Each structure stands twice: as C-alpha cells, then as structure tokens.
Structure 1
C-alpha cells in the first residue's frame, strides 16, 4: 500500500479539482449556440424570418444598424423555401457581444401568378434573459416547443373591373385551432434555446368569407357580389338590395358570377 505525504495529498486534491473544472468548462463550451426555427404550414404557404440582435445584458457597447443587419431566412420564398432555419443565439459584431432578441415572421401564400397576388400576415417570437414562467414557451422531452396560429382567407373586389382579391387574416390559436386575440406569438428565455426546436404551426380555415359585411350574399354554392349603384361604385354595399348582383373578374381573367365556383 502506497503512503502519500501531506504535500502529495494536497497536489492530488488540486489536480482533482482542476479536472472537475475542466469537465464543467468543457460542458459549458460544448453547449450549442444555435436553435432551430421551423414551421408546419398549410399547402402553398411559406414563412420569412428576420432575426434581430441586441447587446447582451450588461454590455455598454452599441452597434450601428448598418453593421447589425438582421439575417433573413426564406427571403425568396416564391422560388426556394426551406422550413428549417438555424438561428444563432450569441454573435459578435464590431467587437460587441450580441444576443438574439426577436424573430419577426411573415406568413405568405400566393393565390395568383402576378407578384401582387398573395396574402401576408405577421407573427413574432421574442427572447429575453428572464420571463415569468407562465409567459414563456415550454419544451417537450424531445426539445420541441410549438405555438399555434389559425388563418383564414377573406375575399373582396377591387377597382371598377371588380377584380377578386384575397386578404390573409391570421390570429393566435390553441392546439385545437380556436382563435385568440392577437397574431401568432411565443416567448422564450435565452437559456431555454440552445439545441432546441421552436415550431410555428398554422391551421387554415376550410371556408373563406367576405372581407367585410353587406357586400356579398351567401347563395347555394357560394357567394354573389352585390351590384351597389353600378360598376362605378367600387364599394358597392348591398344596402337592402339582395336581388341585383354583378359579375367580377378572377385573377386568372375569368368573368364570374359566383365565388368560388365562378359559374352557377
């Protein structure tokens, strides 16, 4: 049996302590500096995400906007779309340590071929150093957090030709699709995010509805556009006249009498 001197025992204790510190530091350094943002969207929908950074808590440095432009994912969503975006949590710009603060989201879907034939809505993810427990998103055992939204298409006509246009209306929702006030939204703390996945799940209403009241009349098979005072009357409220209707033009050029089927 080997007997150690007091000096040797002290040396061994320091060596063991140094080993523990190395292990702890190694674990801290190996923690991912990214998380994944992704989305489960209806067919032909896409999101655009702009990620904004601000100086970390306690930092006195500042960075001009031109040197701190937000990275954007899926900016060319019409041509190329990827549901998964890898977001950095901490970055350094111009020598200033920054942390992710928010992700501004656009929910987009095209309903025609022209550049203007699309609907757009907004959503948001915010990140803070601290949040009350009831205010922050929660993660499953697999490391995924899901927040929900519910969207619906609203239709209207525009201009003297009465061209049909569509508006995308999205609200926050629960997992069953029940709409809530405000846009789709979730919040997290910085220490929740490393290596995790944040998912936005959007549900779409099966039926569309008029953009505002007293302009269309529900009939078997769809909706008919009130005539109003004539084609010069762009607003064309029904105003009690539910027997005189007008044609309208679909974005593909068809002249129709009923939406969505076009012909009765």
Structure 2
C-alpha cells in the first residue's frame, strides 16, 4: 500500500507534456488536522499540467510546496493549498498531497516516530476512500495511530515506532493508511480535515521479546544484555530491566515498576 500511495503521489507530479500557458488561477482550499498531543503533520503538495495544457515541465522542475517542514518548532494546523501553480508559463493543477504524520514521545532529538497518509486529487484507487463535503464545505477523513515499542542498545532503552491506519468516522479500520481522494473541481474554498486518534494501549513492535503480564509488559532477557535480539525463545520467566526515554531503569512497561496490588 505504501508503494502504491508513494507511486501515485510522486508519479502524478511528473510532467512530460509539451507547450506552455499564461492562464492564472488563484483558487485554494484549507488543509487542517485534529491530532493528539505532541503530533504534527508535514504536507508535501504535488502538481501536474492542468487538463488541456500542452506545456512542458521537466520532472526536476516539478512544483512541490511543503508545509510544516520545521514541524518541531513551527507547526501550524492550517495550511492553505493552492489548486493551481504556474511554473515557466505552464499551468499546473493539484495532483496529490503526501502527508507525514509525526509524533514525539521523549525529549531527545530522536525520540519520535512517523507514518504517512495521502490526499489524492481526481483519482479513485477505491470508492471507499472517496471524500464528501458537508453543508459547511468541510470534508473529513480519519485514522488511528498506535505506538509500538521496542528496546535498543546495551541498556535496552525504549524506542517507539508509530503505526497509523485508515478508519471510518466510527473508528473502524478499513485500509492500511489514512487516505482520501477528492475531485479538483469541488475543492475551491473548502476545508479538508484529517482527524487522528491515538490508540489507548501500546503494543510491542514485534513478537517474542515481551511477555504480557498484569499491569503491562516484561522484557525477556534472552541470552543477556549483550544479545541484541533478545528473544524469549521459550523462556518466559527470565526478564531484564530496560530504560525509559527519560532515563529511568524499569522492570515493566509502561508503568516502570510493578504495582504490588496487581495480582497475577
């Protein structure tokens, strides 16, 4: 699915048509997002020659606007997306928007995870992804993101991966990644809103390294701290400590220390 979306997002931006145009169009729409705390999106906008154009725009000059590039320090939920761009006299129409969904979980520079989504304009990979507008001129599409945790390094420090899935308005998953497709003609002066929820529970990034216990998860020791893989390999009684992103040494995730009131 990722390859399909990326192919559409990038491929739709490549133009190899000959000619030029002097037409100027100024329509735009608002892209916005309702995201959990410590989340941000980066939008990369791609264009292709408008219908009826006979101009040439080499791939290397393809126009792409990027919003929230500095998402850690300058994030803005609202982005004003132009429906048309003119490059070297060639009228380009909005083709697609690639969305990076980023989130931080600690204070270190590397304490973040990310996933992706997309807005496709004038394309229908699946009718279920077709967006609609309400009477107020707003279209919403949805997703749920979940943190998946693992350990890294000799201290077995917790690091997290972000996994986001497409859902309907009721939160029921029906596709791999947040995605909507809209027509160019209906976008002018409208609002498109991405709505992301965060799953209440985290899960291990992959199996047989953690054991579910009352109150959380315990990290299997494996062959020792020097064992970078640290699989349980059938031993579900020998556990190791690990370190939280804030530096605490812990025995259970996410609570760090076991609650004596929680009985097996």
TM-score, normalised with respect to structure 2:
0.84
* Equivalent residue number for residue 199 of structure 2: 205
> Could you say if the C-alpha distance between residues 161 and 132 of structure 1 is closer, same or farther in structure 2, counting changes exceeding 3 Å?
closer
Equivalent of residue 121 in structure 2, options 117, 124, 127: 127
* Equivalent residue number for residue 40 of structure 2: 46
SS at the partner of 1:78? helix
* Equivalent residue number for residue 90 of structure 2: 96
Q: Conserved in 2, the CA contact under 8 Å of 1:122 and 1:183?
A: yes
SS at the partner of 2:47? strand
SS at the partner of 1:106? strand
CA positional deviation for 1:215: 1.0
Give the Cα–Cα distance (whole angstroms) in 2 for the partners of residues 248 and 212 of structure 1: 17
* Equivalent residue number for residue 78 of structure 2: 84
Instruction: Identify which range, 49-58 or 128-137, moves more after superposition.
Output: 128-137
Q: Conserved in 2, the CA contact under 8 Å of 1:173 and 1:180?
A: yes
Q: Conserved in 2, the CA contact under 8 Å of 1:215 and 1:237?
A: yes
Give the Cα–Cα distance (whole angstroms) in 2 for the partners of residues 170 and 99 of structure 1: 29
Give the Cα–Cα distance (whole angstroms) in 2 for the partners of residues 122 and 134 of structure 1: 18
Give the Cα–Cα distance (whole angstroms) in 1 for the partners of residues 210 and 129 of structure 2: 41
Deviations 1:177-236 (A, max 9, x none): 112232100011110100111111111100101111111111222111001111121111
Equivalent of residue 153 in structure 1, options 141, 147, 151: 147
Q: Conserved in 1, the CA contact under 8 Å of 2:124 and 2:181?
A: no
CA positional deviation for 1:63: 1.8
* Equivalent residue number for residue 242 of structure 1: 236
Matches for 1:44-193 after TM superposition, within 5 Å? 44-128=38-122, 136-193=130-187
CA positional deviation for 1:65: 4.3
Give the Cα–Cα distance (whole angstroms) in 1 for the partners of residues 66 and 235 of structure 2: 49
Deviations 1:103-136 (A, max 9, x none): 0001011111122110100000011289997653
Instruction: Identify which range, 156-165 or 168-177, moves more after superposition.
Output: 156-165
Equivalent of residue 257 in structure 1, options 248, 251, 258: 251
In angstroms, what is the RMSD of aligned CA positions?
A: 2.0
Q: Conserved in 2, the CA contact under 8 Å of 1:129 and 1:190?
A: no
* Equivalent residue number for residue 13 of structure 2: none
Deviations 1:133-162 (A, max 9, x none): 765311000000001111100000112221
* Equivalent residue number for residue 230 of structure 1: 224
SS at the partner of 2:37? coil
Q: From the CA coordinates, give the structure whose radius of gyration is larger.
A: 1
* Number of aligned residue pairs: 235
> Could you say if the C-alpha distance between residues 200 and 207 of structure 1 is closer, same or farther in structure 2, counting changes exceeding 3 Å?
same
Q: Conserved in 1, the CA contact under 8 Å of 2:63 and 2:87?
A: no
Give the Cα–Cα distance (whole angstroms) in 1 for the partners of residues 55 and 109 of structure 2: 41
Give the Cα–Cα distance (whole angstroms) in 2 for the partners of residues 160 and 214 of structure 1: 19
Higher helix fraction: Structure 1 or Structure 2? 1
Q: Conserved in 1, the CA contact under 8 Å of 2:26 and 2:84?
A: no
